[in-house]
Amino acid sequence: MAPALRLVGLISLLFTFAVAAGCYSWYDYNSASNYGSKRDLPRQDTSRAYQTQQQYAPVSHKVTKLEMNQNLSDQVAAMYGVNSAIVLVGDNVAYTAITMDSTASGTHGGDKMALDSNKDGRARGENPAGDFQSLHVDPTQLIDGVSGAQTEPHHEHISHLFKQKIAEKIRSLEPTIQDVYISANPNIIDQFTKLAIESWHGRSLSPYIPEFTRTMERTFGTDPTIPNQAEANGREY
């Protein structure tokens, strides 16, 4: 009977540990598909790779040259948590518009997620063709439907680590990039899609620079942004 009792005791002890662990999965660590681990220590191991210059001084979004970078767009789109991506490069600054999906966790920062998809406020959307270059629809209707692509009106509500990994990917592929801005706002996605279509047709984006500048100034601002506590410790609220 003694060995049996010892076995029952061991099982009970293991069950107690499991209950104490609660929702903290043994696999809940930061990874390519998990940007919001509750198990890892809240830390930031590297300097912020996005909106870097804006941490210290006012910035300008005025550019003299604007081009779409297809390789960067494809590489960011291939990341976990990203449904689609368009990267525009203006004077060695990468401006990135993404939609998100459920292939990764921890992509949203904040207790209240403001998921959106288009101007009428629906919370889900889709890339109707799967291939932006083959679209024959109004770009403003790009995010529309039920496939699961997600947008986020406020770039501050995209989690720090998610933005960090996107920016690091861009910088590793293009070392000349001096800064990175990331948005999942549906209006930004609309505008970037229009510019991408122009680029795919071989047309210059120069005529769109004034409008682009105004939109980026509205979206990201030009005044210095002091890193909040979440960015300092590697996690957003």
Task: Assess whether pLDDT exceeds 60 at residue 41.
Answer: no
119: left (phi over 0), alpha (psi -120 to 50) or beta: alpha
pLDDT for the residue numbered 103: 81
73-90 b/e with 16+ CB inside 10 Å = b?
Answer: bebbbebbbbbbbbbbbb
Let me know: does 215 contact 90? Beta carbons within 8 Å: no
pLDDT for the residue numbered 124: 33
Task: Assess whether pLDDT exceeds 80 at residue 164.
Answer: yes
Task: Assess whether pLDDT exceeds 60 at residue 125.
Answer: no
Instruction: Say what the pTM is.
Output: 0.71
List pLDDT tens digits, range 166-225.
999 999 999 999 999 999 999 999 999 999 999 999 999 999 999 999 999 999 999 998
Q: What is the C-alpha separation between 209 and 201, in angstroms, rounded?
A: 17
pLDDT for the residue numbered 48: 87
Share of the chain above pLDDT 70, in %: 57
Let me know: does 157 contact 109? Beta carbons within 8 Å: yes
